[in-house]
Homo-oligomer: A and B are copies of this chain.
């Protein structure tokens, strides 16, 4: 019998009816003899309702008080789910973040988990209780309530699974697994029976928003087997694990990820001298703007062009910062473009398979799609293209790498 941590998000617990469904599912696992810890989010809409109340009072409330306020949302769900389990004759007890105790740093609204006290939970599990934990929250060493930021419930689940040395951490969502690409774009998109943490990270960061990145990183670091499942439909979902060397053959490419949410900024005619990248990106970082792709070309005439992408919503702010930088470092000019998209092929298998890049570029060339920027990592190749070609690019790559076909070694899964 296994110890399983299960996480249900806001939509899955969005009404009493949905909470009853979750209780039914959990009761089933319990009846099979598994030990269960359930992590829940606030009922969908509740967090937004609370935030709206806060904003009626103050535009920028103190972060400490925001955490006190919104952490109540998950607590409500834990109590209701525990009741629904008790009703089914399943012993259950709810815990909020400070009761567990999930110790975090004191960075309110975006705290990081430091330590989890598992003694109390183990005692309850040993007595046959299902433990229902409020996701997304913790407590700092001074006893202040903290929250982990939106979507932090995934992180709570993984952290609990790591602390309890659970056999599996199951994330219930509104999709039945991780796909080779977005099924809305490619008809032949196929659910993966498994994927590695690294691949999942690359897929997730590209907008396949099935899981929170932090949760996947955490799971990878502590080697917690993570499974993505549908909260209502039955099915095996997708298991995210460390790379399994024993496998006969690793498929070259796991999937095609893409992201329309980026914009491109170029600062042209930058004097080619040491420290210039820092002088450009330092102020951007200080302004709390996250940068994704960064490309610097080789210099011509002692100047170079420096290009990077940011989230579209931050383009205006980034441009403002960059214009100031440009005049300080005597760059020629700043240009921007928000009609771009990023497309990536992701797969740990590409490490040992030459020619993935050339196959990718060939497929795009065949469709007449111009590549504006290229960036590569060990398990990913990303290109920036004009946004209007996005669907075409994804479909042609999906087909070029034959992702619609089940690989041989997946049949066992």
Contact = CB atoms under 8 A, between A and B. Distances in A.
A20 B53 CA distance: 12
Contacts of A50: 76
A93 to B, nearest CB: 7
A94 interface: yes
A68 B94 contact: yes
A75 B83 contact: no
Interface SS, A side: helix
Contacts of A87: 57-58
Interface in A71-129: 71-72, 75-76, 78-80, 82-84, 86-87, 93-94, 96, 98-99, 120
A20 B57 contact: yes
A57 B69 contact: no
A98 B87 CA distance: 27
Interface residues of A, number: 37
Contacts of A96: 68, 145
A65 interface: yes
A64 interface: yes
A53 B80 contact: yes
Contacts of A371: none
Contacts of A144: 99
B83 A79 contact: no
Interface in A17-55: 19-20, 50, 53-54
Contact of A80 (B69, B71, B82): B69
A362 B19 CA distance: 64
Nearest to A72: B72
A65 B83 CA distance: 7
A58 B84 contact: yes
A94 B63 CA distance: 12
A183 interface: no
Given A57-B84, A72-B75, 9 more contacts: A50-B76, A57-B87, A62-B82, A64-B93, A64-B94, A65-B86, A65-B94, A96-B145, A99-B145
13 contacts: A20-B57, A54-B79, A57-B87, A58-B84, A62-B86, A65-B79, A65-B80, A68-B94, A69-B75, A69-B79, A72-B75, A98-B98, A99-B145
Q: Which of A19, A58, A68 has the most CB of B within 10 A?
A: A68
B66 A79 contact: yes
